[in-house]
Amino acid sequence: MYFDVAMPLTLFIVMMTGVILNKKTESKLRAAFEEREFKVKDAIMLVVAITVAVSVITFVPQAAVMTIFLLAYSLLLFTFTYIFSGVKKIQAELFYVVSMVFSFAAATFSLSLSVLCDVLFAYGAVVLYCLCGFSFIALIYEVDRQHTKERWYLAAIPPVLFLTLYIFFNRTPIWFPYMLNMYGLIFAVLIILYLGILFTWKTSIFFAGLLTFADTVLVLVTRTMISAATHVAGLRLPVMVILPTFPQVVTEKGVLYMSLGLGDFFFAGLLAVQTCKKFGRNAAFLSAAAMAFSFSIFEAFILNFGIRAFPGTLMIICGWLPVTLLKFLKDGKTLK
Q: Which amino acid, one-letter code, is at 158?
A: P
Q: With 0-12 CB in 10 A as exposed, 13-18 as middle and 19+ as buried, what is 27? A: exposed
* pLDDT reading at 249 higher than 90: no
* CA atoms within a 13 Å half-sphere pointing along the CA-CB vector of 278: 23
* pLDDT reading at 230 higher than 60: yes
CB contact burial 6-22 (16+ within 10 A = b; e otherwise)? bbbebbbebbbbbbebb
Q: With 0-12 CB in 10 A as exposed, 13-18 as middle and 19+ as buried, what is 261? A: buried
* pLDDT reading at 222 higher than 70: yes
CB contact at 8 A, 208 and 164? no
Q: How far apart are CA 37 and CA 33, in angstroms?
A: 9
* pLDDT reading at 10 higher than 60: yes
Q: How far apart are CA 170 and CA 3, in angstroms?
A: 30
Q: How far apart are CA 221 and CA 208, in angstroms?
A: 19
The whole-angstrom distance between residue 283's C-alpha and the CA centroid of its chain comes to 23
pLDDT band at 74 (very low <50, low <70, confident <90, very high): very high
DSSP tally for the chain: helices H, then strands E:
12, 4
State mean pLDDT over 97-101: 96
Residue range 190-201, pLDDT digits in tens:
999 999 999 999
* pLDDT reading at 332 higher than 80: no
Measuring CA to CA, how many Å separate 236 from each of 196, 219, 231, 264, 283? 26, 21, 10, 18, 36
What does pTM read for this prediction? 0.94
* pLDDT reading at 140 higher than 80: yes
Q: How far apart are CA 64 and CA 71, in angstroms?
A: 11
Q: Which residues contact 80 (CB under 8 A, 6 or more apart)?
A: 190, 193, 194
Beta pairing partners, 106: none
**Residue 258, φ and ψ in degrees, nearest 5:** -115, 145
Q: 3-class DSSP state for residue 74?
A: helix
* pLDDT reading at 110 higher than 60: yes
